[in-house]
Structure 1
Amino acid sequence: MYISRLKIQNFRCFQDVEIEFNEGLNVIIGENNCGKTTIMKALQYFFKGANNSSAMGIDDFNKNIIIGEKPPEITFVLTIQSSNHEKAQDRAVVASWLTKLGSPWEATLTYKFFLPEVDHKKFAEDIKAVDDEDQNRKKWAILEKYLKKYTSRIYGGNYESKNRADQEYLDKFHCEVLDALRDVESKMFTGRNALLKQILNFFIDSDLLEKDENERKTVQEQRNQMFETDSSSLVTNMIARISVGKIFGLADQTGASVGGHPTLGGQLDTSDVLSVLKLMIKKETGIEVPVVNNGMGYNNLIYISLLLSKFKMLVSSEMGENAKVFPMLLIEEPEAHLHPALQYSFLRFLKDEIDKHEISRQIFITTHSTHITAAVGLDPIICMNVNSHGEIVPAYPGKVFSDTPEDQSSKKYVARYLDATKSTMLFSKAVLFGEGLAEQILLPILAEYACKSLDKSHVSMVRVDALTFKHFIKIFGAGIQEERKKYAISRRVACIIDSDPARLPHNVPSGKSRRWKKCFPFEVDAKPDEYTYSKVSGAVTNLLSSVQDCENVKVYYNSTGKGKTFEYDLAYENSDSDLIFDEAVEIIDFEGLESSVWSAEDKEKAKKAASYLTYVEGGKGEPAFNLAEKLKENLKAETRKVFNLPLHIKDAFKWVCYDEED
């Protein structure tokens, strides 16, 4: 079984939202203040003993609720569902909570934080008595006054039945939480700390479990006898070193010895020795240092490994009726103090462990790390984002793809290329897709020339190829089946793509196939008897078709009929700029330009733009780097040189920076 859904009402940033979870690993991402921690907190109210009235405060109520005569409530509804890896005792634990029989079965828990009905009448009277002036503030003050009377309940099964969930069965679930501000060293330094002591106690003599019962009993007795002898000798030797007479010499004079002479005694048991053990780190040099002197990142990993060891203990048959059935792990920001490579390997480890179904039944992680999202792939990711109505809603990038071969091909492509760079698009407020290296280098700088900042606007710049736009935009709701759009990430996306006009020859030599070939814009319609022309490439046409039913994804290309590529368009708009044209760019003549019907001015611009394109195509990215440096220096200059942007690029910046009405 696994936790399949969580519905949250009137709690913190959520007024009414339902989050779907995956069996196994769940990675919750999103901007700041988008409810990641709130989701983790809601889960804890079921399984961490937080279900008491003192656990909630006035600030836990969603601030958008309207306080009327009926006192507001906070509600969580948790759905538990059967899975392919169901264990024998799963259904027995949730039997009284079942709300759906058959396969898969479902069980429901409902957490309510509410004002008992006996106080409703007085609450309503107080609310009705509020005058019109500053009404909202006064109503919230009344609610806060009544909070001390609020209580909480966890119900199992259909809520209408009001059947309280039995604590015995709730205790079969075990929830461990690592919050973002954790102090792991204090929890595992010595055997006196609860976590380490629990684990040491459980795993002592664990090697005997592999032996048969008779041999295990014999060896255990031998070890116990050896420990008793050694510990008794140790206590006796210690007492012998202490001058008992000097300590208790005055006992006779005070009369204390009438009831017997004081002396020293005692014995050591196993737990006493475990308490003095310290967790040490053995370096490659052989030197051992206390764990408190170890790096915080490595200590976090050690602590998590101890928790997973604890899970082994909790589900063990050695625990008898106290064994847990469903251990789960909640980790906030596991990237804390971990360098990128370690983040990646750690998440791969967690994913592999959860796939084995041996330790934790379910893991929930919140993160801001692109390295972690790159490590886990698409399916475990739950992306909390703000929709067009200002509501925080979940999105599931792995679920936007249907089972069709085309969609599955797209999913594999995105998963393969969702590295730490490209996965920034899952965290940003908007995404700008560019077609090549030059776009990746130059667009963030060009945005400054449009008085925009991609960084300050939280826009992610992602480089793709002309034919792979179609794969990535599906995550944002473009080019997918209508019923899948509810899973898409709701944010603005701009695709800047080359117009790349092309022509198709009417006749070709025998043995050769007719193919569209790119041409310059001034060549379009020049030889209609020989070629069929298209002012834009098939990639543009297909991309426009993919986004036609998606309001948040837009395509930007040079639609003037005079554009070609990103570099060509920049050079065309800045044909007199020495920021682009220097001695390295050779101005050359092009066949067909003079016979074009374009104006002399446009022909000159096209000539220089085509020359610059010829130059950059042989530069392997270096011209883009050089131009970027010049543009950066120009931004700092007291007298800044004019640098014009093509209209479609300006419009793309306006869209992703949310100021298209400028």
Structure 2
Amino acid sequence: MYISKLTIQNFRCFQDFTVEFNEGLNVLIGGNNAGKTTVIKALEFLFKRGSAKAPTIDDFNKSLDVSTPPEITITATLKSSNTDTMDDKAIVASWLTKLETPWEAELTFKYFLPEQDQKKYIEESANLSTPKERWFLLERNLKRYVARIYGGNIVNKNRAEPEYLDKIHCETLDALRDVESNMFTGKNTLLKQLLIHFKDKAMHTVDHSEKTDGQNVTVGNDKFGQLSRSLVDDIVGRVNQKEFLEFAEKTGASVGGVPALDGNLQEGDVLSALRLIIRDQTGIEIPIINNGMGYNNLIYISLILSKFKMITSPEYGENAKTFPILLIEEPEAHLHPALQYNFLKFMKDEMDNQSFSRQIFITTHSTQITSAVGLKPIICLEKEGGKPVFAKYPSKVFSESNEDQESRKYVERFLDATKSAMLFAKSVVLVEGMAELILLPILAQKVNCDMDKHHVALVRVDALTFKHFIKLYGAGVKSENREYALEKRVSCVIDSDPSKIVKEKQDGVRRSWKKCWPFDLDSSPDIFDYKPISGAVRNLNEQTTASSNVKVFYKSEKGKTFEYDLAWDNSENTLLFTDDVEIVEVKELSVCTWAEKEKERAKLASSFLIHAQGVKGELAFELASRIQDNRSTVINVPAHIKGAFEWVCYRNELEERNG
């Protein structure tokens, strides 16, 4: 059994919103105010009864017409799975909305004004002239609002039975958590509960006798009784009772009986005295309050997981919980990136094994976390302008075809912390080289398209692997899968890389396409066949034909590589052509039919490219420094690269909006 879907109406940023969940782990990502926390709070209203506070006026969606009393409705769909138990079925028996396998059940939280109070509300609202006055009316009437949880089809309005709701246990670690105060000593509820439950468990692992668990516990209790009696007797013996109580006899109090000291030390008293400490590799012990906040967060989460193990234990009998849920906001808080990765990898593995929690819901802004869990658990909440928030599911864009599954595996394999940025950004620029990765952010500033300000992720992929990544954004996928794709703008900046191949095959020589200069194209048509753009560019063009948000940008005429194209548009720029750049003669230029001015530019561009290939990437760093040190010097940005910037930064729309 798992929560397969959540529908939220009129709650905070959601007027009518539905999100689908996975079995096990669910990782919600999205920009600020996209609704991640609202999803967590909605789950709390349904599954954390008693702890979740009643909604306030600020919890109502602000676009509502409150001339009639509005309602907040949150509906969770529970669906059967392969790991169902008899207890699962018993819980949802009266909540079922679909009987055939896989069965479905529903729980609905409603916050509403009772029917007997609605007439008066509507009459008062009719006499008010402004929305602001009506919102004040709603706020005054909140004290009359009631919260109910219904099971099954909501039209029947059957109240969900508390005894079955109590079988579902929900724990939340919010973003502003103070974990230290919850686990200092055994006086705290969580730590004390765990100490009591796991007390005497160690005896089972060291006792090699044939005793049963019950006998082991009895032995443990007897031993504690002896030790506690001895300890109390020792303390009592060290107190001078005669001097301590001498005035009792003088006041006459001893006539009713002589006072004396005695005591009884219970296990709970000792457990309350225990505290967590940290023992480092050298053996030094420090109190947990002095431990790092990140490590304490991990320790606290580990205690929560131990609690889940405890409350689902058969030792609790009918009081045992059946369906524990963990909600964590921003687990990356105070955690080193490596710890983030390892922690979520552990969570994913444990959820796959259903070891402690039936479902975990996580909100995050961390690329380390998304790279650790793969695509399947990720749910993207996207919000574009004034449009409603909608949920997208990156893993579902890939169909079951071999080609799509290959793409999915490739993306997951290479979705490291750097490439995961493409899931969080507002727009994405995909490039194929280190030089582009270094220089494009600087060139973007030259055309007033600052990538950071426009929340654009710059991601390097290989020329032949663009096709895998752009499927995340709906390019080249089946129409029925496109609804799950991310609706972000994507620019694919790729080299045109012209090539040629010998027409006639020679004996013993294998024909293959070889890269050539743009000025070499069609120079010997009787000997070679030519391609002005590479196969990778052509395939990308075909893949993005039907896409409204993914575009391919390359220099369609007289283009070759990024370095060549940049030098072509800056053939007289001293920032590029320093004394280190040797101007070389390229033999193919001698038979080129271009105009002399174009041939001269081609000669310089070719020389710059040859120089860049010789220094193996160092040139990009040096050129970036020179551009930044000489900000007043004009750099011409190639038209196709400028177009890529303007596309992901919505420049055309901004200009139209500003007149």
Output the TM-score relative to the length of structure 1. Answer: 0.95
1:90 shift after superposition: 0.9
Instruction: Report 1:170-189 matches (<5 A).
Output: 170-189=165-184
Aligned-pair CA distance for 1:401: 0.5
Q: Which residue of 572, 579, 586 corresponds with 1:583?
A: 579
Between the aligned partners of 2:422 and 2:79, the Cα distance in structure 1 is: 32
Equivalent-residue separation in structure 1 for 2:562 and 2:262 (angstroms): 88
Q: Does 1:525 align with 2:490?
A: no
1:146 to 141, 147, 160: 141
Q: Which residue of 1 aligns with 2:14?
A: 14
- Residue pair 1:51, 1:152 contacting (<8 A) in 2 also: no
Given the alignment, which residue of 551, 555, 558 partners 1:554?
Answer: 551
Tell me how far 1:249 sits from its aligned partner: 3.9
Is 2:97 aligned against 1:102? no
1:323 corresponds to 2:328: no
SS in structure 2 of the partner of residue 660 of structure 1: helix
Question: Structure 1 residue aligned with 2:609, among 613, 623, 643?
Answer: 613
CA distance in 2, matches of 1:364, 1:426: 18
Q: Give the Cα separation in 2 of the matches to 1:610 and 1:621.
A: 16
Give the Cα separation in 2 of the matches to 1:57 and 1:443: 48
Identical residues among aligned pairs (%): 56
CA change 1:221–1:528 in 2 (3 A) is closer
Distance of 1:567 and 1:660 partners within structure 2:
27
Aligned pair count? 652
1:350 aligns with 2:347: yes
Q: Give the match's secondary structure for 2:190.
A: helix
Q: Is residue 627–residue 633 contact of structure 2 (8 Å, CA) maintained in 1?
A: no
Q: Distance in 2 between matches of 1:329 and 1:219?
A: 33
Q: Which moved more, 1:610-619 or 1:164-173?
A: 610-619
Q: Residues 182-581 of structure 1 correspond to what in structure 2 (within 5 A)?
A: 182-207=177-202, 214-252=211-249, 256-257=253-254, 259-387=256-384, 390-559=387-556, 561-581=557-577
CA-to-aligned-CA distance 1:149-192 (integer Å, 9 cap, x gap): 11111000000010000111011011111111111111111111
C-alpha distance in structure 2 between counterparts of 1:220 and 1:84, whole Å: 36
Deviation of 1:354 (Å): 1.1
For the residues of structure 2 that align with 1:440 and 1:354, how far apart are their CA atoms?
Answer: 37
Amino acid at match of 2:189: A
Tell me how far apart the structure 2 counterparts of residues 258 and 490 of structure 1 sit (CA, whole Å).
89
Give the superposition deviation at 1:121: 1.2
Alpha-carbon distance change, 291 to 198 in structure 1, aligned in 2, over 3 angstroms: same
Question: What is the identity, as a one-letter code, of the residue corresponding to 2:66?
Answer: I
Secondary structure at the counterpart of residue 587 of structure 2: coil
Match of 2:127 in 1: 129
- The structural deviation recorded for 1:56 is 0.7
Return the letter of the residue paired with 2:144.
K
* Counterpart Cα distance in 2 of 1:554 and 1:62: 36
Give the corresponding residue for 1:653: 645
Find the aligned partners of 2:456 and 2:447 in 1 and give their Cα distance: 15
Give CA deviations for 1:308-344 in whole Å, capped at 9, x if unaligned: 1111111111001100001111111111111111111
Residue type of the partner of 1:658? Y
1:85 equivalent in structure 2: 83
Query: 1:624, CA displacement in angstroms?
Result: 1.2
Once residues 552 and 393 of structure 1 are traced to their aligned partners in structure 2, the CA distance between those partners, rounded to angstroms, is: 17
**What is residue 602 of structure 1 aligned with on the other side?**
598
Structure 2: how far apart are the matches of 1:310 and 1:616?
A: 60
Aligned AA (2:81): S
Q: Which residue of 2 aligns with 1:46?
A: 46
* Residues 1:111 and 2:106 aligned together: no
Runs of 5+ unmatched residues, structure 2:
none
For the pair 1:4 / 2:4, whether they are aligned, the reply is: yes
8 Å contact from structure 2 (residues 200, 220) kept in 1: no
Aligned-partner residue type, residue 646 of structure 1: P
Counterpart in 2 of 1:61?
Answer: 60
How big is the alpha-carbon RMSD for the aligned residues of Structure 1 and Structure 2?
Answer: 1.8
Alpha-carbon distance, 1:51 to partner: 7.9
Question: Equivalents in 1 of 2:216, 2:341: separation in Å?
Answer: 43
Counterparts of 1:646 and 1:657, CA distance in 2: 17
Deviates more, 1:220-229 or 1:41-50: 220-229
1:64 & 1:539 partners in 2: Cα distance? 47
Match in the other structure for 1:163: 158
Name the CA shift for 1:18/1:213 in 2 (closer, same or farther; >3 Å).
farther
**Is this contact kept in 2: 1:387–1:491, CA < 8 A?**
no
- Change in Cα spacing, 1:261 to 1:658, as seen in structure 2 (3 Å) is farther
Task: List per-residue Cα deviations over 1:266-293 (Å, max 9, x = no partner).
Answer: 2011111111011111122222111111
The alpha-carbon deviation at position 531 of structure 1 amounts to: 2.6
Residue segments in structure 1 that go unaligned for 5+ positions in a row: none
Give SS of 1:225's match. helix
Shift of 1:534: 2.6
Query: What is the Cα deviation at residue 34 of structure 1?
Result: 1.0
Query: Structure 1 164/648 Cα, relative in aligned 2: closer, same or farther at 3 Å?
Result: same
The answer to which of 321-330 and 504-513 deviates more is 504-513
1:211-265 CA distance string (max 9 Å, x none) = 8985444443333222212211211222232344444444455555554444332
1:388–1:296 distance in 2 versus 1, CA, 3 Å:
closer
- For residues 157 and 629 of structure 1, the distance between their equivalents in structure 2, rounded to whole angstroms, comes to 65
Q: Hey, what's the Cα distance between the residues in 2 that align with 1:345 and 1:258?
A: 71
The answer as to whether partners of 2:2 and 2:81 remain within 8 angstroms in 1 is: yes
Q: What amino acid does structure 1 have at the position aligned with 2:648?
A: V
Superposition deviation, residue 608 in structure 1: 0.6
Aligned partners of 1:13 and 1:149: how far apart in 2? Answer: 24
How far apart, in 1, do the equivalents of 2:540 and 2:511 lie? 23
Secondary structure of 1:108's aligned partner: strand
TM-score (norm 2): 0.95
CA distance in 2, matches of 1:501, 1:284: 60
**Does structure 1 residue 593 correspond to structure 2 residue 589?**
yes
- d(CA) in 2 for partners of 1:84 and 1:422? 34
Is the CA contact 1:396–1:487 (under 8 Å) kept in the aligned structure 2? Answer: yes
Deviations 1:413-453 (A, max 9, x none): 10010001100111111111111111111111111111221
- Do the aligned partners of 2:496 and 2:532 also contact (CA within 8 Å) in 1? yes
CA distance in 2, matches of 1:600, 1:122: 88
